[in-house]
Structure 1
Amino acid sequence: MRQTGTEIVVATTGQGLVEFTDRVDRWVRDTGMVQGLLTLFVRHTSASLLIQENAAPAARRDLEAYFARIAPESEHYEHDDEGPDDMPAHLRSALTATSLSIPVADGRTVLGTWQGIYLFEHRRAPHHRRVALHLIGA
């Protein structure tokens, strides 16, 4: 049994989904491990991780619009230290995930045909988000 880890920085241009599946797949392949369990963890409270449809851009747009409706910007939030998008970003992050677990088999992540790994940026401003990767296996 072996384990290894790294950190990937995902640049965002503002709110929305940023796919980084290829970077994760490349790192898994480069480890030389053929089976195991990959854990991803985003190190921020206003961004999250998703496994989501990666073929139809409309699916991403619908998802982004849905979260804008259920956690809108509003002057009614008490927490607004970093602006009007601050608390909605925390709510959206709380409703999604900060970590993911993905099986690895035959040296590849075991994702479905139309699944991709996304960072979901919940703030309007561009950011550089840090995602920790940890792989345990053989």
Structure 2
Amino acid sequence: MAAAAVESRGETLAVLASWSGVVAEGRAEPAPPREAGALAAFLLRRLDWLGGHRAAGEFAAEIAGVLARARHAAGPAVPVAELGPCVHPGCSGVLLPLPGGEAGCAAGHRWQPAQLLLLAHRLRLSA
């Protein structure tokens, strides 16, 4: 699975760089650095121009293809267990585990790992 992810990332980077080159040449402007985030942002900011390009369909097909292969390489989505209702006053959100051992809701309320015992206590009190 890891080899497929590395291969998919390389293919994605190549496609983004290639299309960024097309846009940069067509608009007579410098291409962004060869970094996935910079390339994707560059293309997104010029999507209207690219949509009018004669190869817009090819662009869309290539992007859809690398996206599908990246999703396949990533494997099946892992369901996220809800921790309970958000304990922030007035919030109707649901608490979910977050990267780095944090917990939080979609409204932006966050609890650091050191605060999780307090959060667990509050969840027991609200149940």
TM-score category (smaller protein): under 0.3
**Richer in strand (by share):** 1
Higher RCO (Cα < 8 Å, 6 or more apart) = 1
Q: Scaled by the length of structure 2, what TM-score is found?
A: 0.26
**Richer in helix (by share):** 2
